[in-house]
Amino acid sequence: MFRLESISKTFSPGTPRQLTVLDNVNLEIEKGEFVILLGSNGAGKSTLLRIISGDIKPDSGRVLLNGVELTGLSPHERADYIYLINQLREKNLVSILTVLEAFALAMSRNKSFIHLINRRDWEKHVKTLLASLKQGLENHVNDQIWSLSGGEHQIITILIAAEMIRNSDRADSILLLDEHLAHLDPNSSKTVMALTSELVKQYALTTLMVTHHIQVASQYGDRVLVLKDGAIKYDVKNKNGEGKPLQHLSDIIS
4-53 per-position pLDDT tens digit: 999 999 999 999 999 999 999 999 999 999 999 998 888 899 899 999 98
Q: In the chain, where are the structural domains located?
A: 2-90+172-253
Tens of pLDDT, residues 219-231: 898 999 999 989 9
Query: Exposed, middle or buried, 95 (CB in 10 Å: 0-12/13-18/19+)?
Result: middle
- Kindly state the DSSP code that residue 135 receives in the 8-state scheme: S
pTM score, two decimals?
Answer: 0.90
Fold that domain 2-90+172-253 belongs to in CATH: Rossmann fold (3.40.50)
Rounded to whole angstroms, how far apart are CA atoms 42 and 143? 37
- Kindly state the DSSP code that residue 31 receives in the 8-state scheme: T
pLDDT above 80 for 199: yes
Q: How sure is the predictor about 106, in pLDDT bands with cuts at 50, 70 and 90?
A: confident
> In the prediction, which pLDDT does 89 show?
84
Please state the rounded mean pLDDT for residues 105-127.
Answer: 74
| CB within 8 Å of 90: residues ≥ 6 apart | none
| CB within 8 Å of 16: residues ≥ 6 apart | none
pLDDT above 60 for 138: yes
Q: How sure is the predictor about 121, in pLDDT bands with cuts at 50, 70 and 90?
A: confident
Mean pLDDT value across the chain = 88
> In the prediction, which pLDDT does 169 show?
73
Please state the rounded mean pLDDT for residues 106-119.
Answer: 67
Rounded to whole angstroms, how far apart are CA atoms 52 and 70? 8
Specify whether the CB–CB gap between 48 and 7 falls below 8 A.
Answer: yes
Q: How sure is the predictor about 77, in pLDDT bands with cuts at 50, 70 and 90?
A: confident
> In the prediction, which pLDDT does 244 show?
58
Query: Exposed, middle or buried, 115 (CB in 10 Å: 0-12/13-18/19+)?
Result: exposed
> In the prediction, which pLDDT does 67 show?
87
Q: Which amino acid is at 17?
A: R
| CB within 8 Å of 224: residues ≥ 6 apart | 35, 36, 38, 217, 218, 234, 235, 236, 238, 244, 249
Rounded to whole angstroms, how far apart are CA atoms 1 and 208? 12
> In the prediction, which pLDDT does 231 show?
92
Rounded to whole angstroms, how far apart are CA atoms 118 and 121? 9
| CB within 8 Å of 172: residues ≥ 6 apart | 31, 65, 66, 81, 206
Query: Residue 54, Cα to own-chain centre: how many angstroms?
Result: 14
> In the prediction, which pLDDT does 118 show?
66
- Per 3-state DSSP, the chain is made up of helix, strand and coil in percentages (nearest 5) of 40, 25, 35
pLDDT above 60 for 240: no
**Which neighbouring-strand residues pair with 174?**
82
pLDDT above 80 for 66: yes
Query: Residue 96, Cα to own-chain centre: how many angstroms?
Result: 23
Q: Which is higher by pLDDT, 64 or 170? A: 64
> In the prediction, which pLDDT does 114 show?
64
